[in-house]
A and B are shown apart, each in its own frame.
Chain A
Amino acid sequence: MVRVILRRLIQLVVTLIALTTLVFFWLRSLPGGPVDALLGERATPQTRELLTRALGYDQPIWTQYGRFVKNVVTGNFGNSIRTGEPVMDVISRSFPATIELAIAAIIIAIGLGIPLGYIAARYRGRLLDNATIIVTLIGISIPIFFLGYLLKDLLTQNIHIFPPSGRITTGMDNTDVTGFFVLDGLLTREFDASADALWHLVLPALTLATIPLAIIIRITRASVLDVLDEDYIRTADAKGLRNTTIRKRHVLRNALLPVVTTIGLQTGALLAGAVLTEKVYNWGGLGTLITDSISGGRDYPVLQALILLAAAVFIVVNLLVDLSYAVIDPRVRVQ
């Protein structure tokens, strides 16, 4: 067991070193780069030269690489080119925003998806069922940024119900504790701020929820249908148990198992959706950070850190999962 962990840890280190090296040399081979991003139209050739020297780009590539590795090892990913802020600060600030949005989207997707899927299955083949299926199909076929635009245009411009963008009303004097604005408002008893943040959350969460919602509806429906087909339900039916009892005791409970699993599986897809949703609603989370660090900004330090962090977290999670397999299933341990 210990040997397995050790081997995997070595693997982790090797992978990270390889990736770090790759990212470093790759980004340096690109045209433009930090010197370009730091200078506007007004820089003279002398300034350009000065900057190249100041950033150490005139030194041999191996010296540069050594410095870079030293920084990364000490957890220093450099500063954002745009604001000069440490990259880790930028990332940790954007993080709660995306999580807040993702959680809200998941709540919507579950809250609507399970009942709708269940109803569709109960009325299988009827109008309601067919309508639900068509809506879910459209849900996964519509570009979600466009859906976001439509919702935003309709509900913030034509009818002023929701705020068009951002996480909280500008000038709202909220206290920042955890970075989760809804939670912060509750913690500090600034309930108005909490409500305001929640209000800002509705449209983006609804937009982001479309795809998971469609998937949850379909899986719930399929899984309820499977269970309805099982022998024990037929038995219960034959026994003359009341319909509601069957539904409560047997169908839903058994059908929910695969649904619950699927919900956990949607997390990654949510992050991809968040990139688009956050751009539509000017939501200052990781999605915005990714797009901003690429298009327009070319903020390579931020981009570099995001890639490495993603890889590191991925590898660690995989390791934990594999280890947990070993704990649960003795057969793996033997291997």
Chain B
Amino acid sequence: MSGTGGLATLADHKRRRIEELTARTSEAGGVSLIRDAGRRLLRNPTAMVGAIIILLFLIIAIFAPLVAPHDPVQRFPELTKDLTVDTIPGATAGHPLGSDPLGRDFASRMIYGARQTLFVGVLATFIGLLFGVVLGAIAGAVGGWLDVLIMRLTDVMLALPSLLLAITLVALASRSTQWTVIIAVAVVNVPIFARLLRGSMLAQRESDHVLAARALGVRRRDIVLRHMLPNSLTAVIVQATLTFAVAILDAAALSFLGLGDPDINRAEWGLMLGVDGVRYFEVRPELAYLPALAIIFVALGFTLLGESMREALDPKNRR
């Protein structure tokens, strides 16, 4: 295999980036850094652009039923009337973006698309985060052979390029559903979060407030839950923001490869782009352009905010 030569090095690269993030966010610890970072974020135009994009996306996603003119899965006679396999009606009264390949209202599908995309992105990120954080916390708090085992496991997972891992998982699941896609994309993120949390907890083990707590005789479980975990979470949140962008891009890629969500009733941007967008590109390019633009914008928004947060939390920038 070609990439496998580079697999170890890729894992290494990812691991290093995670370490950097951990180091930056957990060194100084404490509320002052976060408050400081928040102030710097508000003054950073890049972060604000990202935040506005995300906010807009969230509003459309949450209020989709109020914003959308129609039901996204209903077929309309006025649209199917002129629909054939090689002509898809454009804008008409009541349907500002015209029809999709099945005579459904494309505008409504784009709007509901925000909701499904949010659903896939959030779940994929959250599941990855949850398992990653639990594994990482165990590794960091317990240590010993369990730590070694978990870290070996994450090494293997980090070594595989993320999309390849997702493809393999979908293949091994034998059939794809929306859930296999979400899980495949989520699993890819487990090792990243696990490493992140473990590193952060190890860094804190020697920090003053943990040592103090230990000296006071606080139980280990309480130290981990009350002191160490909350302090690690800033790094996790930053990473989650960046992960969201990757998750919706990976979901789109799986759809394009024919391994995505098979239910084409579902309006999800990646699915709309990877299936209909590509198939009907010459008949109606908007079917590809609009979902693609939506994906690019949202991915951009999350990347901008994530990167800015990462920068703001970097103690190096505090001068």
Contact = CB atoms under 8 A, between A and B. Distances in A.
Contacts of B278: 145-146, 149
A123 interface: no
Contact of A142 (B10, B170, B296): B296
Interface stretch (A51-59, A69-77, A244-252, A312-320): A312-320
Interface of B is mostly: helix
B281 A317 contact: no
B257 A267 contact: no
B9 A267 contact: yes
Contacts of B65: none
A330 interface: no
Given A143-B249, A143-B292, A290-B167, A268 B159 contact: yes
Please tell me the size bucket of the interface on A: 35 or more
A141 B10 contact: no
Interface in A248-286: 262, 264-276, 279, 286
B292 A275 contact: no
A143 B1 contact: no
A143 B162 CA distance: 14
Contacts of A307: 168
A37 to B, nearest CB: 12
Interface in B1-36: 1-13
Given A137-B300, A149-B281, A314-B156, A267 B259 contact: no
Nearest to A312: B4
B295 interface: yes
B273 interface: yes
A295 interface: yes
B291 to A, nearest CB: 9
B162 A272 contact: yes
B123 interface: no
Contacts of A314: 4, 7-8, 156, 159-160
Please tell me the size bucket of the interface on B: 35 or more
Contacts of B175: 31
A306 B164 CA distance: 11
Contacts of B12: 265
Contacts of A137: 300, 303-304
Contacts, number: 154
Interface string A297-335: 000000100110110011001100100000000000000
B168 A313 contact: no
Contacts of A99: 2
Interface string A90-119: 000001001100100000000000000000
B2 A291 contact: no
Given A143-B253, A272-B162, A317 B2 contact: no
B110 interface: no
Nearest to A130: B46
A267 B155 CA distance: 16
A102 B5 CA distance: 13
Given A145-B256, A146-B292, 18 more contacts: A31-B174, A137-B300, A141-B299, A145-B252, A145-B274, A265-B6, A266-B13, A267-B5, A268-B6, A270-B3, A271-B2, A275-B164, A276-B257, A286-B2, A290-B167, A317-B5, A317-B7, A318-B159
8 contacts: A32-B174, A145-B278, A264-B9, A271-B161, A275-B257, A314-B4, A314-B156, A318-B155
Interface of B: 1-13, 155-156, 159-164, 167-168, 170-172, 174-175, 245, 249, 252-253, 256-259, 270, 273-274, 277-278, 281, 288, 292, 295-296, 299-300, 303-304
Interface of A: 26, 30-32, 95, 98-99, 102, 137-138, 140-146, 149, 153, 262, 264-276, 279, 286, 290-291, 294-296, 303, 306-307, 309-310, 313-314, 317-318, 321
